[in-house]
Amino acid sequence: MRATKSICLNMVGEALSRLIFQLILVFGIAFMIAGFCFTYLAPGEEVKMLKDLGLTVVAIFGLLLAIYLAVSTIGPEVERRTIYCLMAKPVKRHWFYLGKFLGSMAILAISCLIMGLVLVFALYLKEQAWNWALLGAVSLTYIALVVVNALVMAISTFASPMLATVAGFTFWGLGYTQSYVHQLATHADNPTSRVMLEIMGVLIPDLQRFDLREAVVDLIHVPPSYVYLVTAYGLAYLVVMLAIGIIAFNQKQM
Amino acid sequence: MAVVEIEELTKVYRPFLGGVGVLALDKLSLTIEQGQTFGLVGPNGSGKTTTIKLLLGLLYPNRGKCRLFGRKVFDMQVKDRIGFMPEAPYFYDHLTGEQLLNYYASFFKMSKTQRRERVDELLSMVGMQERRKMLLRHYSRGMLQRIGLAQAMINDPELLILDEPTSGLDPIGSYQIRNLILELKHLHKTIILSSHLLGEVEHLCDQVGLLHRGKLLACGTLGELLPEAKQAHICVQVSEAAQHELEAMGFQGERVDGLLQLAAVPVDQIGPVVDLVRKSGGELYEIHRQRQSLEDFFVQTVRQKEVASE
């Protein structure tokens, strides 16, 4: 655990010092602040717009960050040979992998929290009321981002950063169209197509379940049981991705 | 006691999508005893780095086995006892030299006080005390090399693996690193030194292994590999008369700055030459029994191997 903690903290320190991380965060916040420009809408619509835009910005910039962190975790360590010194120390491969993953989780958490708080504060300025439900929606987006991060990290243990990045965006896109995939599977005439679509439905999580934008914008009550269930659903995928990543990394020739 | 035991170690690099693999190491067997400084030499692509990576558990062998301190290389108890310095080290450049050493120290069972003391000791040893608060991104190549050596010694290892420790350094930097390695040698550390610089290997190592295309062509002490020549070079200051006497004995000399240089004196004739110099009131400056250099041996062995394989 000591090694995992050291690797995790080092990764957080390194990411925070990187310009690209700061840029992603600054641009994300800038986009939210730009939402203030929509003053020509009716007052109620304006707030809805801000919430929708804010949560979309958290998801998009979070996704960019999740993929960037995942592809810059294993590959650059091997290319720069920093991993050689580390592996010569009493560090098991899975401790290293877990440390890097936890580091990514922490950085994503920091980013989502900062963007979420900016959004809550921006809405406070409009509504004169603290809307903490937004942070709940950001939390579920965070779980989706962590799942994508785990998948891209697993792929980047054996594939190039470019391939892993493409896989990440594809996974995200397919994850958001899972409801259509399920519909297609139900209506497919060809049994092979149906089986293929069903397998795809199982392999790729339904990321729309993590998206609470509609509920937040239209003030629909979300029962806590739904949040727990979706969290468990995300964690199940996370565990599988992590296990695949660790197995692949243990086999890696460096 | 054997610190490193390698048996029939074979490594083939296979492309990800199949195809013909590259044989990087071919049934390598060698043993390195405690306290030895072992030089691993060979041309580019001869398998030096592959051997080191296999010893560190960065690669998995196709066949054969290697053990450190009698244990498998992946054993964490083994990792507690080794130190590694890679070629042209690159470290996390958001850290200072001191933070980097603290980071690497955090992987070992050390109290905060022990860690602080060890970091201080190593920074002094490698001459980086004044630059301890400087970010690594501002370090020169030589400084990185020195901090690289310091991180390899953070756990006071019994076995040090150094991959090209002086490559790319200026003469003063190389001299400092060589002296540090000599200090470690005097502390009876077991050292594996992979280097292209044969003079350096000859200067620092007790044993040498010559790798070529993944095969161990020669392995032994410098004395075994480079037998002493049967001739010596003698430098004396003698009168003209004594010079004539030496010529009469069959030794043609050449005067350089007043000193007579006698090349290729048979070893069994050293005594009579010295006696003659003394009797004539001359002065003996130098007797140097030459032997083949490691570089000559290296070139000769590799060429022979290449001719044989053609």
| Alpha-carbon distance values, B2 to A185, B6, B131, B221 (Å) | 64, 10, 38, 16
pTM to 2 decimal places: 0.84
What's the CA gap between A177 and A182, in Å, rounded? 9
Instruction: Scan residues 240-259 of B and list those with Cβ closer than 8 Å to A.
Output: none
B160: which 2 tokens? Answer: 């040090």
CB contact under 8 A, B104 and A81: no
Cβ atoms of B198 and B228 closer than 8 Å: no
Residues in A closer than 8 angstroms to B161, CB to CB, are 88
Phi-psi region of B47 (alpha: psi -120 to 50; beta: other; left: phi over 0): left
Give the pLDDT confidence of B203-231 residue by residue, as tens digits: 899 999 999 989 998 899 888 887 777 78
Cβ atoms of A83 and B53 closer than 8 Å: no
The predicted structure's pLDDT at residue A43 = 67
The predicted structure's pLDDT at residue A42 = 67
- Spans of all domains in chain B: 2-223, 228-291
A183: which 2 tokens? Answer: 């519909």
What is the per-residue DSSP string for B11-41? EEE--TT-S--EEEEEEEEEEEETT-EEEEE
What's the CA gap between B210 and B218, in Å, rounded? 5
> For the residues B128-150, what does the mean pLDDT come to?
91
Residues 6+ apart with CB under 8 A from A65: A21, A24, A25, A107, A108, A111, A145
The answer to whether residue B15 scores a pLDDT higher than 70 is yes
The predicted structure's pLDDT at residue B267 = 84
**If one looks up domain B2-223 in CATH, what number appears?**
3.40.50.300
- DSSP for residue B160: E
Considering only the beta carbons, identify the residue of A6, A82, A92 that sits closest to B106.
Answer: A6
Considering only the beta carbons, identify the residue of A80, A82, A88 that sits closest to B56.
Answer: A88
Considering only the beta carbons, identify the residue of A17, A87, A88 that sits closest to B94.
Answer: A17
Hey, which CATH number is domain B228-291, 3.30.70.980, 3.40.50.2300, 3.40.50.720, 3.30.420.60? Answer: 3.30.70.980
Q: Using CB atoms within 10 A of its CB, is residue A103 exposed (0-12), middle (13-18) or buried (19+)?
A: buried
> For the residues B240-264, what does the mean pLDDT come to?
87
CB contact under 8 A, B94 and A89: no
Name the CA radius of gyration of chain A, rounded: 20
Q: Report the complex ipTM.
A: 0.85
Give the pLDDT confidence of B17-57 residue by residue, as tens digits: 767 888 999 999 999 999 999 999 988 888 999 999 999 99
> For the residues B241-250, what does the mean pLDDT come to?
88
Residues in A closer than 8 angstroms to B15, CB to CB, are none
Phi-psi region of A227 (alpha: psi -120 to 50; beta: other; left: phi over 0): alpha
Residues of chain A scoring pLDDT < 50: none
Q: Would you call B271 an interface residue with chain A, using a CB distance cutoff of 8 Å?
A: no
Name the CA radius of gyration of chain B, rounded: 24
The answer to whether residue B5 scores a pLDDT higher than 90 is yes
Nearest CA-CA partner of B107 in A83, A91, A99, A100: A91
Domains B2-223 and B228-291 share a fold: no
Give the pLDDT confidence of B151-201 residue by residue, as tens digits: 999 999 999 999 988 887 788 888 888 988 999 999 999 999 998 888 888
> HEC states along B34-72?
CCCEEEEECCCCCCHHHHHHHHHCCCCCCEEEEEECCEE
**Geometric angle at alpha carbon B76, from B70 and B82, rounded to 5°:** 70
